[in-house]
Structure 1
Amino acid sequence: MSGQVADAPAGNWVDRYAPPLLRPFLRLSRADRPIGGWLLMWPCWWSAALAALQLGHAAPNPWHLALFLIGAFAMRGAGCTYNDIVDRDIDAAVERTRSRPLPSGQVGLSAAVAWLVVQALAGFVVLLQFNAYTVWLGLASLLVVAAYPFVKRFSSWPQAVLGLAFSWGALMGWAASYGHLNSAPELLFAGCVLWVMGYDTIYACQDREDDALVGVRSTARLFGRHARAGVALLYVGAVALMALSLALADAALFAFLGLGAFMVHLAWQVVLLDVDNAGRCLRLFRSNREAGLVLFAGLLLECLVRWF
């Protein structure tokens, strides 16, 4: 199909149903690959559920959950568009990414910048629905987002910066309920950073050879043949920090069962990881959507049980 991006799932809704004029812009936003929106959303929802648990509520604030859902996809789209603008020359030199809208010529630079502004404004409107503390906290994340595309040019740890950006919601959900932070969301944030670093290392294993040719650095290249051990250590740290966060928020059985299921899912990823199998790396990366769901389900069930 004309304009289809190489690493997008075959038969995705953008390629099948979106109006032709909008397809290149939706591809810029990765709407044909929505996994990033879910991964950005889960820390927000976990944090909102953790706050609800400590407040004794039966569930997280549904209005907050809806805002985080919309905001996650809007800002993920804006972030991807920004990343593609900055990386357009690199993307043109990498086999997996040269079919993206900018390097393939589907979208011009000016149009991409305009689309970035539209998405950023949508995210800002969502952010303004929260209390002032949360608004300023959300705006602070833009510094990390802006830095991310440049880090891989000089550091082997761009996954750490991505971890900061994609984990920011672990602070936002709590702040939206309390108007401040404490150790529980801060430890959840730290655990999320390690989780993101782990799954993005798996994702980066797809591009190790091309990245070496164009000079892009990553933890996948840094760990090399020891990528499985590196991911395992990151995941162990993530679960440990999240367990401390749950304990500080007075979580009990069902929350920890959810964390246990999350841990099993991460262990399954480590066991199946093959750094030379790009297709498997992509599938394992995408499976973190389900990992996020089981942890949220445990937190939600804990809220309900405690309420009744």
Structure 2
Amino acid sequence: MSSLIPTLRYAARRRWTTSRRLADCASSGRVAQFVSRPTTTCPAAQRRCTATTSSTPKPPILPAEAIVEDSQPEIYRPPTTGLLARVPSSWVPYGELIRLDKPAGTYYLYFPCLFGTLLAAPYATPLASPFTVLYTSSLFFAGAIIMRGAGCTINDLWDRNLDPHVTRTRLRPIARGAISVQQAIAFLGAQLLAGLAVLLQFPSQCFFYATPSLLLVALYPLAKRVTNYPQFVLGLTFSWGAFLGFPALSVDLLADTPALISAACLYGSCIAWTLVYDMIYAFQDIRDDPKAGIKSIALAQQANAKNFLMAASAVQVGLLVGAGASLGVGPVYYFLTCGGAAATLDYMIREVNLESVEDCAEWFRKGAWITGGAISVGLFVEYLVQYFDLFGDQSRKREAMKA
């Protein structure tokens, strides 16, 4: 037995050396062949050595590119699909800055404008025509694209020292140095001028209603540094369009109390909606935000997240009811608009997995269409019912509201 020990040691040392040389060659891309010299041992010892070691399988040798450390930072790669893959490469950082490849935020900014327009359309004097509703809604969509981009530019300027510490934002153009601060400020000026050009296409009173929202756009990035509920400030900002639909159709809110109450309820409803969808969005960064010093409603309400989401949704639906009741809407509004909002919100909150980054991102995107779409369809059908006077009581209701 003692004579076998040196033999086993020698055989094990040769196998280790050969495996090490093979791994080195594989990692460097070379192909090599090794011919081992025969071991000078007796046949019996060789058979015993083989029997002892052959039962232990050798671990596979992986190529170097298959071994990736978890701590290795992600490398920026230009987009290869979508709209940004079709524009000149020098435009790509600016497209990424305004989130042109992530349009969900634009939809969330647009929907309150659309809600206000559709809610005000049957109340306007004269009752707004379908062409007027379509034209006004199109202007709002153009404005949403521009002003959402401007808001993203302002946000990234404020967060240029925070974004590198959050996994989801570390490769944003300003954070990674693709756009300088000076270039971003100049680009922001161009965006604001474009937004002003769109705003001037509306009735003149819209200018005075829209201007205060710029202060909220500038202040939102600061909120995440000082409060656990920055989503409320975002709601104040993104929901402002709920007010603008009325003056866009020449309904003076300051001179019309029912319209003012309706617009205020719609505004509050959209704020509650923002708390819902942006809380789901914030769960994507719940691990990185504390390290970066960022506050969020997801962190504040992590222990009872779904109960909070349900409560905010109930507030949203309740205020939708108030927005319609102040204008004397019909049963179609309550069934489709309010009922549709309640059903889609309940479904989303029950289905979303708040522990999954991918699931939160997916439901954030889908929420714009399922809830925003349900409310919009309900409002549009209510508008058509009143426009064509399908129930035969439109004139009476309008006279009663004016009185």
Give distance in 1, aligned partners of 2:331 and 2:122: 12
**Within 1, Cα distance between the matches of 2:351 and 2:271?**
22
Alignment correspondent of 2:391: none
Partner residue in 2 for 1:267: 346
CA shift for structure 1 position 3: 4.5
Aligned residue pairs total 304
The C-alpha deviation readout for 1:200-239, integer Å capped at 9, x for no partner, is: 0110011011001111101000001211111111111011
Instruction: Give the deviation of 1:4 after TM superposition.
Output: 4.6
Partner of 1:29: 98
- Residue number among 306, 323, 330 corresponding to 1:245 in the alignment: 323
- Residue in structure 2 matched with residue 212 of structure 1 by the alignment: 290
Distance 1:284 1:263 in 2: 16
Can you list the C-alpha shifts for 1:236-256, whole angstroms capped at 9, x where unaligned?
101100111011122223222
> Is 1:44 aligned with 2:116?
no
Tell me if the contact between 2:114 and 2:245 (Cα under 8 Å) persists in the aligned partners: yes
Match for residue 292 of structure 1? Answer: 372
Q: Note if 1:306 corresponds to 2:386.
A: yes
Match of 1:13? 83
Of 291, 314, 333, the match for 1:255? 333
**Amino acid corresponding to residue 248 of structure 1 in structure 2:** S
SS of residue matched to 1:131: coil
Which of 335, 354, 361 is equivalent to 1:282? 361
Greater relative contact order (Cα 8 A, min sep 6): structure 1 or 2? Answer: 1
User: How is 1:1-308 mapped onto 2 (pairs within 5 angstroms)?
Assistant: 3-4=76-77, 11-14=81-84, 16-55=85-124, 56-57=127-128, 59=130, 61-181=133-253, 182-256=260-334, 257-290=336-369, 291-308=371-388
Rounded Cα–Cα distance in structure 1 between residues aligned with 2:237 and 2:139: 18
The question of whether the paired residues in 1 share the 8 Å contact of 2:122 and 2:387 is answered with no
- The RMSD of aligned alpha carbons is 1.8
**Bigger Cα Rg:** 2
Question: Hey, what's the Cα distance between the residues in 2 that align with 1:275 and 1:163?
Answer: 21
The AA in structure 2 aligned to 1:144 is: L
Q: CA deviation at 1:179?
A: 4.4
Structure 1 unpaired stretches of 5+: none
CA contact (8 A) 1:131 1:179 kept: no
Q: TM-score, normalized by length of structure 2?
A: 0.72
Q: CA deviation at 1:158?
A: 0.4
